[in-house]
Structure 1
C-alpha cells in the first residue's frame, strides 16, 4: 500500500504539470502546398509498442511492435493515395552502414524537434519568448537532411512516429484506486506525430501531434484510425466533395 501511495503522489504532480490544453497542429507561416505540385517521400515510420507497468514504466514488446508496423504500413499506403500529391515510400539503405545510421539519427532528431514543438509551442503557457504567438512556427532539422540517400528529386520528407504503452492489469487496478482518491492516473500512453520537412531548407513546415491518440495500432481498424489522426489537416490534400445529402 505504501508503494501505491508513492505512485499516486507522483501521478498527482504529473497531472498538475500537464493540465493545460494542448494544440495539435502547426504550420510555418506563409507555407502552402497545392495539390499535384510536389513529390513527397515517406520515411520509415518510427513505431514503438509495449506495456505499461504498475509504476508507469515502459516495457517494450517486439511482437506488438511488429504487428503495429504491419498494420500501420498498410494504413499509410492506403492514405498516401488521398494526400493530393505524389507520395512514395523511402527506399532504405541496403546492408546498414553509415547511411542507415544517418537515417536513424534524423529520425531521432525529428522526434526530438517534434517533442520540443509540442512542449514549447503547442502548450501556449510554455511558449518560448520568440514563439509567443501561434503564427511564430519556426523549427528546422537543418538543410543536410536532403543529403540522405534516396531523397534526390523529392520536395518534402514526411516523418511519422507513434508510441503506445498498453496499461497492464495492475496499472488499471491502480487507476481505479487513484480515481477513488481523486488523483489523475492514466492506464496507457498513446501518442504520435507526423511532420512535413521542406528538403530545400530542412524546415519543418507542418506538424500534427497528440499525446492522447486513439486506435489500437495492433489491428487494422485501430491502425487506420491512428493514421487518420496523424494526417488530419495534411497540407495539399484536396477538399472532400460536398454530397447532396450534406447540403442544407
Structure 2
C-alpha cells in the first residue's frame, strides 16, 4: 500500500510538472504580416525526413529500419489524404531531371535543425534569445539559395515535414520507474515533429508548427494520421479544420 501511494504521488508530481512545461511552451510561429488565402498559392510538399528507433536503457538512439519504413509509408499515406484539404494547390516534390535530390535533402535537414532551434530559443520563454523576444517578431530562414532550385520553379512555398521517434526500450521503462521511486526524472521515449512553410522567393520560414512531445504512434496507420493532424494544425490558408479518417 505504501509503495502504491508513493508511486502515485510521484506520478502526479511529474504530470503536473509536464503540464506546466507544456503550458508555457509555444508550438506555432508565423512571420509578422504573413497571411495565406485559400486558393492563392502553389505549395510543394517536400520529402519528409522521418526516423524511428528505440531509446536504449542509457538513453541512446538506436535506429530501427523496419519501424522507419513503416513510419514513412504511414505518414506518406496520411499526407496524401490531407494535402488536398489544405486550401491551396499542394503537390509532391519531384526531382525530375534536375539532379537536385541531394541538395534538397540537405535543405530538408537544415529545416529540421532550424525548427529545433526555434523550439529551443523562441518557443520556450525561459530560453528566448534577446533577438527572439515576442516584440522582435518571428524571423527565421533556411537561406535564399533555395530560390535557385530548378525543381521548385513555379512554386510559391515549400512545405517541410520532419518527425523523429524513439520508443523506450524495456530497460529504459524500468529505469524510469526506478527513477520515479528515487525522485529522479527519467524520460522514456522521444517524439519530435516539425512542419513548416518556407517562402521560396526569400527562403524565410513564414509558418512553423513544432513540438517535442508529439502524439501518435507513426508505426501504425492510425497513429500516423494523428501525427499528421497535429503537424498540420493551424496550417495557414486551410479553409476549415480537417478531420482525418479514424480521428
Give, in whole Å, the separation in 1 of the partners of 2:135 and 2:240. Answer: 24
TM-score (norm 1): 0.85
Aligned residue for 1:30? 33
Give, in whole Å, the separation in 2 of the partners of 1:183 and 1:31. Answer: 44
Aligned residue for 2:8? none
My pick for the range that moved more, 32-41 or 142-151, is 142-151
Aligned residue for 1:69? 72
Give, in whole Å, the separation in 2 of the partners of 1:170 and 1:117. Answer: 32
Superposition misfits of 4+ residues, deviation over 6 angstroms: none
Query: How much has 1:100 moved relative to structure 2?
Result: 2.2
Query: How much has 1:22 moved relative to structure 2?
Result: 1.8
Over the aligned positions, Cα root-mean-square deviation in angstroms equals: 2.1
Q: 1:39 aligns with which of 39, 42, 62?
A: 42
Give, in whole Å, the separation in 2 of the partners of 1:112 and 1:155. Answer: 22
Any unmatched runs of 5+ in structure 1? 1-14, 242-248
TM-score (norm 2): 0.86
Aligned residue for 1:194? 195
Give, in whole Å, the separation in 2 of the partners of 1:201 and 1:77. Answer: 27
Aligned residue for 2:63? 60
Aligned residue for 1:111? 112
Any unmatched runs of 5+ in structure 2? 1-16, 243-247
Give, in whole Å, the separation in 1 of the partners of 2:54 and 2:95. Answer: 29
Aligned residue for 2:158? 157
| Aligned pairs for 1:73-222 within 5 A | 73-92=76-95, 99-133=100-134, 136-222=137-223
SS at match of 1:139: coil
Query: How much has 1:19 moved relative to structure 2?
Result: 5.3
- Aligned in 2, Cα 1:120/1:157: closer, same or farther, shift over 3 Å? same
Give, in whole Å, the separation in 1 of the partners of 2:43 and 2:70. Answer: 26
Query: How much has 1:240 moved relative to structure 2?
Result: 4.5
Give, in whole Å, the separation in 1 of the partners of 2:77 and 2:212. Answer: 23
- Aligned in 2, Cα 1:144/1:53: closer, same or farther, shift over 3 Å? same
Query: How much has 1:148 moved relative to structure 2?
Result: 2.4
Corresponding residue pairs, total: 224
CA contact (8 A) 1:146 1:199 kept: yes
